[in-house]
Amino acid sequence: MDSDRTSPGVGQADPIDTLPPGFRWGVATSSYQIEGAVAEDGRTPSIWDTFCRVPGAVAGGDTGDVACDHYHRMPDDVGLVADLGLDTYRFSVAWPRVQPGGRGPANPAGLAFYDRLVDELLGRGIDPWVTLYHWDLPQELEDAGGWPARDTAYRFADYAELVVDALGDRVDTWTTLNEPWCSAMLGYVEGVHAPGRRNLGDGIAAAHHLLLGHGLAVPRLRAGAGRPIEVGITVNLATADPATDTSLDRDAARAADGLGNRLYLDPLIHGRYPEDVVADLAAQGVRIPVEDGDLPVIAAPIDVLGVNFYFGQLFSGVDEQGRDRDADGAPVRRVVRRDLPRTAMDWEIVPESFTDLLVRLGRDYPGVPLVITENGAAFDDRPDADGFVADDDRVAYLAEHLRAVARARLAGADVRGYFAWSLLDNFEWAYGYEKRFGIVRVDYDTQRRTPKRSALWYRDTVRRVRGQR
C-alpha cells in the first residue's frame, strides 16, 4: 500500500475524522446491475435487456439476465451491508418490474420484492434510500419515442407515484433519477449506452424530458407519501479545467462544464438553462424543447442533491495539430491526458478536484444539502485462493476521496453523507462484468460473495469515525 495515498501524512490528523455525528455512511447499487431475474414475476424488458442483445454493444456479449442474482439472494446481501455497520443502503427500483410496459397499474409481484427489501433493511437498522430510475426504461416506452419524447416525463411521474404509494410509509429518502447526463448523452448521443442512439438533438430533448420528469415527480412523491420525506436527484459531475490559460482552452473547459454540469444544475436549482450552453447548442442547430411553465416545474425545491463523482478532466480548445476547429467546423474540445494514476476504467484519480467541485457547488448552488451518492473505482482485482482481494488500490482511492469530502466540508461545503459505489461487483453497463467496482467480490460462477480488503477498511473507518464521538 502506498502510504502517501492512504494516510493524511505523518503526524497529521486525518481529515476523515472530522466527519460529524449524523453523517450518513452508505453503499450503493442499482437494479439492472445486480438483480438478474429479468423475466420473473411479470418483469418486462427494459432498454438494457434489448441493448445487451445488440452484437458488440456490451463487452463479452454480457447481459444482466443473471447479474449478481440479487433478486434471489437479497436477504444475504442486506446482511453484508449490516455486517459493514453502514446506516444507509441506496438501491434502485426497476421500472419494468413494478409497472411492466411503463403504463397502467402496478404489478404487485414486482413491487413485493422492494417491499421485502425495505422491510429487510429496516429490520436490520439500515435506512433505505430509493432511486426511482437508474437507466432501465421499459422498452415499450422507448418504442414510443423514449426520453426524447415529452410523454415519457409524464409516464415517469405516474410510475413514481405507484412506487411511493407502496413504499412511502417506510422510505424517508427518494432520488428521482440517477445521472440524467448519462441517460441522455451516453444513451442518445454517443450511443454507447441503451438505447444506443446517436443524435445530439435527441440527447438534448432527452435531457430536458428527464429533468421535466424529475420535476413532475417531486410533488407527486411528497403528496403520495403523505408525511415529510426527503426528495432529490443524483447528478454525475466532473470538473472541467482548462489545460492552459489560453482563451481557447478556457472556452473548451467552459463548454464542457456547461454541457456536463450546468445544463442540469442550473435548471434544477436556479430554474433556467445556462445561456452559454443554449448558444453553443444553437450553433450546432439544436434547441432545448422547453415549453411554457417547464422551468418552474424542474426547479421544484429539493431536499438533497446527490453527487456522483469519479474523475475530473482537463480540456484544450486545440487539437494535437494545433487546430481550433474540427472537420465539421465546430470548436475543438479535447480531453488532455495528464500523467496521473488511473483506475481500470482509465479514469484519472484526482481527489483534489473532488474537493474543488464540492466547494464550488456550495458557492454556486447554495442552500442545497449534498450527499455523495456514488464514488468508487474499478481496479484489476486479483483474488487469492480463498477469493479474498487485497485491493489496496481501492482502499487508497476511497480514503483519498473521503478525505477530499472532509476537506470540502471544512471549507464550507454542506456534504451530509457518502455512499461507496458499489456494494458488489456487478454488471458495469457497456463493460459487462469485466470491470469490478465492488467492495465485495462476486464470483460469477458460484455467486459467492467475499468482502475485499476495501470493505473491511470501510467498516473499520466508519466505526472509528463514529467511535470518537
Site string for ligand FCB, 351-380 (x = CB under 6 A): -----------------------x------
Separation between Cα atoms, residue 255 and residue 262, nearest integer Å: 10
Among 25, 437, 457, 458, binds ligand FCB (CB under 6 A): 437
Supply φ then ψ for residue 119, to 5 degrees: -65, -40
Nearer to ligand FCB by Cβ, of 224 and 351: the residue is 351
Q: How far is the CB of 234 from ligand FCB (least distance, A)?
A: 8
* C-alpha cell read off for 101: 410496459
Shortest Cβ 320–ligand FCB spacing (Å): 28
The reply, when asked if residue 310 is annotated as ligand binding, is: yes
Among 179, 257, 356, 393, binds ligand FCB (CB under 6 A): 179
> How distant, in Å, are the alpha carbons of 51, 228, 406 from that of 80?
31, 29, 26
Give residues 288-317 in contact with ligand FCB (rule: CB under 6 A). Answer: 308
Of 30 and 88, nearer to ligand FCB (C-beta) is 30
The span from the CA of 269 to the CA of 203, in Å, is 21
Comparing CA positions, the residue from 422, 454, 392, 459 lying closest to residue 68 is: 422
Residue 347 marked as a ligand binder: no
Residue 348 binding ligand FCB, by CB under 6 A: no
Any known ligand binding at 284?
Answer: no
Judged by CB under 6 A, does residue 182 bind ligand FCB? yes
From the list 103-111, 146-154, 176-184, 256-264, the region that binds ligand FCB by CB under 6 A is 176-184
Contact with ligand FCB (CB under 6 A): which of 114, 419, 421, 458? Answer: 421
Chain residues 54-93 in contact with ligand FCB, contact rule CB under 6 A? none
Cis peptide preceding 3, ω within 30 of 0: no
Query: Nearest 5°: phi and psi at 38?
Result: -70, -15
Residue 179 and residue 233 in contact, taking contact as beta carbons nearer than 8 Å: no
Burial category of 153 from C-beta neighbours within 10 Å (exposed 0-12, middle 13-18, buried 19 and up):
buried
Four-point Cα dihedral 427, 431, 437, 442, nearest 10: 50
Q: Is residue 48 involved in binding ligand FCB (CB under 6 A)?
A: no
The smaller minimum CB distance to ligand FCB, of residues 187 and 317, is found at: 187
Can you name the residues that pair with 371 across neighbouring β-strands? 306
Instruction: Map grid coordinates 419524447 to a residue.
Output: 149
Query: For this structure, is 179 an active site residue?
Result: yes
Q: Is 30 in the site for ligand FCB (CB under 6 A)?
A: yes
Q: Containing H/E element for 315?
A: strand 313-316
Does the annotation place 375 within a ligand binding site? no
**Any catalytic annotation for residue 374?**
yes
Which residues contribute to the annotated binding site for substrate? 33, 134, 178, 310, 421, 428-429
Applying CB under 6 A, the residues found at the interface with ligand FCB are 30, 33, 178-179, 182, 236, 308, 374, 421, 428-429, 437
Query: Annotated catalytic sites, by residue?
Result: 179, 374
